[in-house]
């Protein structure tokens, strides 16, 4: 009985050899199929970037299943059980499934994979481009570095030649040039002259006219321009060798001047002068001018221009400084010469002063003595002429000497008290004889407020008045000469005729104004300004005068008047209409102190001050109760008999002959202590009856002191008063009748 086996019989009969080959092949296929995924996995694990791992997994699965299929096939060559068949079938089914899925997947994946490739290509291109750009930047940076270095070299010197030489050398080095040359415009501006070259030590004065087309082309643009090697500016050396000459580039170098730097103007527009820089590449190389090299050349040209202008400025300033030094030296020399001259003149004058005056004195003295002797009328006439001439000569000498001293500024005015009225009277006396001879009528008008006494230089003031009056007499033939004199008030002083003269009267000075009017020959308007000039003579007056003067008189007057802080001027309505001479001078007001100096009281017996003060009747006027009490206490302590009042009316009531001293407080506003003092003075006309008036004040200045003196007070004391001070003041008062503290 045949058991029904579940075996499956192969379709074909088994052929031993063929089957063996199939068997082996299947085995190897399986082996391959198993090892491939392993290899794949191994390499994928190694490379981290592969993005499609799961695809590989699928692929791996597919391969493994294929391998499994082939492996299982090995069992199907002989009799095999149903299980094997089932396993085989399932394996095949699985394999089919996986392979289909994989095939479907690959449809999507393969395009992606391809695009990866394109992206890679793209990136590679980009990288190549960046590389190129890097190369470019690097070259530019190199260029920049070269330029900076060049600039630094050029600008590190202020010497023109060094700048230009350095430029050429550095450019030649940086760009590896064969020749580098600089053509500068000549003075005329019509030619360019070869000034500097790189390789030739002393370039011959080779010139080309400036208006060549190639030069114009270069000058008209601020870029570096390629020119032909055959142009005149590029043919510096004879062509050596058979090689092609290298490319030549020329660029303009603006020659900037200081005046070219306008604020709103760029130098390129305003400058007209250029130099030409020519650069030649080596002739045996195939080099060409690159853009960055041209740029470098342009930049350098600009820098050179700036450096040159700096050098030019420096040269100019050094020239100016040298000039100034020369001038200084010359001025110094001139000054020293002038000083020597002045010294020489002063020495001369000093000598001549003495030398000239001595014989003059002799002449004058002896001739006056001669006049005293017995003389015949003719002899007398002769002697009188001698006297007159020598007097004139003496005056002339004095004038000249005075004037030179005045001009030097070495003349000092005297400052003494003198009687003003007496001065005028003396002038009148001196002039009267001459005036009466010429039948001139003299009048003198002194203002009532003219002080009797003044402080100043009496002699010179007299000289001024005499000179002016003398001139008036000299140039009049008849009529009246009037002399008026008064104190110039402030309104008067702002005369329209004296615009530059602004005198300010003060408490110590007053301005004396003297006017001399004559009806003589007058002066024409054009001569008026020359009057005070030395040695200038007035033509009309020349004709009119009978005796010649030196022409110095008015000049000297003017100098003296100026020294006295004054002003002098002459007015005339024209020829024949007479003239008026006016001058204003500053004189001092004498201190009243001097008056009281002259009074001497009989000597008071006993030296002990206390005794003098005992019982002394004193009046104190002060409206401040406290200070009144204090002053009273002080005086009581000193033994005085004190009466106190607190107002000016009370004071005037209480004051009597018995009071010897009146102390009054003057610094209170509203109460005029000065007024009281004046009234007291008026009341007691006789000096010895009058009580001494002393002012008490809290603040002292020169003004207060002078005011007190002016109203006739005898003393000023600063409050608060100490015992000792009061004692001293009182004893001073009684001794000298005056006590003004040194303030």
Q: Is 490 in the site for other proteins (CB under 8 A)?
A: no
Nearer to other proteins, 247 or 665 (CB): 665
SS3 281: coil
Q: Is 550 annotated as a binding residue?
A: yes
Q: Is 633 in the site for other proteins (CB under 8 A)?
A: yes
Alpha helices of 536-621 — where are they, by DSSP H? Answer: 539-544, 553-563, 593-596, 609-613
- In angstroms, give the least distance from the CB of 679 to other proteins: 23
Q: Is 70 annotated as a binding residue?
A: yes
Nearer to other proteins, 102 or 624 (CB): 624
Quote the CA–CA distance of 554 and 552 in Å, as a whole number: 6
Instruction: Give the up-direction half-sphere exposure of residue 175: CA atoms within 13 A in the CB hemisphere.
Output: 35
Of the listed pieces 14-22, 38-46, 256-264, 661-669, which binds other proteins according to CB under 8 A? 661-669
Measured CA distances, 569 to 550, 562, 583, 717 (Å):
20, 12, 6, 47
Among 107, 240, 543, 626, binds other proteins (CB under 8 A): 626
Nearer to other proteins, 85 or 623 (CB): 623
Q: Is 624 in the site for other proteins (CB under 8 A)?
A: yes
Q: Is 99 in the site for other proteins (CB under 8 A)?
A: no
Q: Is 509 annotated as a binding residue?
A: no
Among 8, 446, 667, 700, binds other proteins (CB under 8 A): 667
Quote the CA–CA distance of 460 and 468 in Å, as a whole number: 12
Q: Is 636 in the site for other proteins (CB under 8 A)?
A: yes
SS3 511: strand
Q: With contact defined as beta carbons under 8 Å apart, do 336 and 388 qualify?
A: no
SS3 382: helix
Q: Is 1 in the site for other proteins (CB under 8 A)?
A: no
Q: Is 627 in the site for other proteins (CB under 8 A)?
A: yes
- In angstroms, give the least distance from the CB of 618 to other proteins: 15
Among 670, 685, 686, 688, binds other proteins (CB under 8 A): 670
Q: C-alpha angle with apex 532: 527 to 537, nearest 5 degrees?
A: 55
> What are the percentages of helix, strand and coil residues in the chain, rounded to 5?
55, 15, 30
Q: Is 615 in the site for other proteins (CB under 8 A)?
A: no
Q: Is 720 in the site for other proteins (CB under 8 A)?
A: yes
Give me 616's structure tokens: 């002394």
Q: Is 474 annotated as a binding residue?
A: yes
Q: How many residues sit close enough to other proteins to count as binding (CB under 8 A)?
A: 22
Q: Is 66 annotated as a binding residue?
A: yes
- In angstroms, give the least distance from the CB of 633 to other proteins: 5
- In angstroms, give the least distance from the CB of 721 to other proteins: 8
Nearer to other proteins, 241 or 670 (CB): 670
State the burial class of residue 63 (Cβ atoms within 10 Å of its Cβ: 0-12, 13-18, 19+): buried
Among 78, 216, 385, 625, binds other proteins (CB under 8 A): 625
Question: What letters, b where the CB count within 10 A reaches 16 and e where it falls short, cover 456-473?
Answer: bbbebbbbbbbbbbbbbb
* φ/ψ of residue 509, rounded to 5: -135, 155
Of the listed pieces 57-65, 265-273, 706-714, 718-726, which binds other proteins according to CB under 8 A? 718-726
SS3 662: strand
C-alpha 699, offset from chain centre: 45
Nearer to other proteins, 204 or 626 (CB): 626
Helix (H) or strand (E) holding 181: strand 179-185
Quote the CA–CA distance of 234 and 236 in Å, as a whole number: 6
- In angstroms, give the least distance from the CB of 614 to other proteins: 13
List residues bridging with 518 in a β-sheet: 481, 579
Q: With contact defined as beta carbons under 8 Å apart, do 12 and 22 qualify?
A: no
Q: Is 614 in the site for other proteins (CB under 8 A)?
A: no
Nearer to other proteins, 385 or 625 (CB): 625
Among 349, 375, 394, 630, binds other proteins (CB under 8 A): 630
- In angstroms, give the least distance from the CB of 506 to other proteins: 23
Quote the CA–CA distance of 560 and 461 in Å, as a whole number: 8
Q: Which residues are annotated as a binding site?
A: 66, 70, 471-474, 518, 534, 550, 554
Report the interface residues with other proteins, using CB under 8 A: 623-627, 629-631, 633-634, 636-637, 665, 667-670, 698, 719-720, 722-723
Q: Which residues are annotated as a binding site for Cu cation?
A: 66, 70
């Amino acid at each position: 009985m045949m058991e029904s086996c579940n075996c499956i019989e192969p379709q074909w009969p088994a052929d031993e050899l063929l089957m063996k080959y199939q068997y082996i092949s299947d085995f190897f296929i399986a082996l391959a199929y198993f090892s491939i995924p392993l290899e794949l996995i191994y390499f994928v694990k190694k490379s981290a970037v592969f993005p499609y791992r799961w695809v590989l997994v699928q692929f791996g699965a597919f391969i493994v299943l294929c391998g499994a299929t082939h492996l299982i096939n090995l069992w199907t060559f002989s009799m095999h059980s149903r299980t094997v068949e089932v396993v085989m079938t399932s394996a095949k089914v699985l394999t089919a499934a996986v392979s289909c899925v994989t095939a479907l997947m690959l449809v999507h994946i393969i395009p992606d994979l391809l695009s990866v490739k394109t992206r890679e290509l793209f990136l590679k291109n980009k990288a190549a481009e960046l590389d190129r750009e890097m190369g470019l930047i690097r070259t530019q940076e190199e260029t920049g570095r070269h330029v900076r270095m060049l600039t630094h070299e050029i600008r590190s010197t202020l010497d023109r030649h060094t700048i230009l030489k350095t430029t050429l050398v550095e450019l030649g080095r940086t760009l590896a040039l064969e020749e580098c040359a600089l053509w500068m415009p000549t003075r005329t501006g019509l030619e360019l002259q070869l000034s500097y070259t790189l390789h030739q030590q002393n370039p011959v004065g080779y010139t080309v006219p400036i208006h060549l087309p190639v030069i114009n082309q270069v000058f008209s643009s601020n870029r570096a321009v390629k020119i032909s090697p055959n142009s005149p500016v590029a043919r510096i050396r004879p062509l050596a060798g058979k090689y092609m000459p290298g490319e030549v580039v020329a660029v303009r170098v603006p020659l900037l001047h200081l005046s070219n730097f306008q604020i709103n103007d760029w130098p390129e527009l305003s400058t007209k002068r250029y130099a030409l820089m020519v650069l030649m590449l080596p002739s045996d190389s195939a080099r060409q001018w690159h853009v960055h090299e041209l740029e470098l050349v342009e930049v350098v040209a600009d820098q050179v221009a700036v450096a040159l202008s700096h050098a030019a400025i420096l040269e100019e300033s050094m020239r100016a400084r040298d000039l100034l030094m020369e001038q200084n030296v010359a001025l110094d020399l001139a000054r020293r010469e002038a000083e020597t001259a002045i010294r020489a003149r002063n020495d001369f004058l000093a000598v001549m002063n003495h030398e000239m005056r001595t014989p003059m004195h002799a002449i004058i003295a002896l001739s006056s003595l001669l006049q005293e002797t017995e003389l015949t009328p003719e002899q007398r006439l002769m002697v009188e002429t001698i006297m007159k001439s020598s007097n004139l000569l003496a005056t002339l000498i004095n004038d000249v000497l005075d004037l030179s001293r005045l001009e030097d500024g070495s003349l000092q005015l005297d400052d003494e008290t003198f009687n003003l009225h007496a001065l005028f009277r003396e002038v009148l006396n001196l002039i009267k004889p001459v005036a009466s001879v010429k039948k001139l009528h003299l009048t003198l008008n002194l203002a009532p407020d003219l002080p009797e006494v003044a402080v100043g230089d009496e002699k010179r003031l007299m000289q001024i008045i005499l000179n002016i009056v003398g001139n008036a007499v000299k140039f009049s033939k008849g009529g009246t000469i009037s002399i008026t004199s008064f104190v110039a008030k402030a309104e008067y002083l702002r005369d329209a005729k004296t615009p530059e003269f602004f005198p300010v009267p003060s408490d110590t000075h007053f301005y004396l104004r003297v006017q001399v009017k004559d009806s003589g020959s007058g002066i024409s308007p054009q001569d008026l300004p020359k009057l005070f000039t030395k040695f200038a003579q007035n033509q009309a007056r020349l004709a009119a005068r009978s005796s010649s003067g030196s022409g110095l008189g008015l000049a000297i007057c003017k100098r003296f008047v100026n020294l006295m802080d004054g002003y002098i001027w002459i007015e005339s309505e024209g020829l024949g209409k007479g003239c008026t001479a006016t001058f204003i001078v500053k004189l001092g007001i004498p201190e009243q102190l001097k008056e009281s100096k002259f009074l001497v009281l009989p000597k008071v017996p006993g030296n002990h001050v206390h005794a003098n003060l005992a019982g002394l009747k004193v009046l104190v006027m002060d409206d401040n109760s406290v200070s009144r009490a204090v002053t009273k206490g002080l005086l009581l302590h000193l033994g005085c008999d004190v009466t106190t009042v607190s107002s000016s009316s009370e004071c005037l009531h209480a004051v009597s002959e018995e009071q010897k001293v009146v102390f009054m407080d003057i610094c209170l506003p509203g109460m005029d202590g000065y007024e009281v003092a004046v009234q007291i003075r008026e009341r007691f006309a006789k000096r010895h009856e009058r009580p001494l008036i002393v002012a008490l004040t809290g603040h002292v200045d020169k003004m207060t002191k002078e005011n007190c003196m002016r109203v006739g007070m005898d003393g000023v004391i600063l409050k608060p008063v100490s015992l000792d001070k009061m004692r001293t003041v009182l004893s001073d008062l009684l001794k000298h009748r005056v006590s003004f503290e040194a303030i």
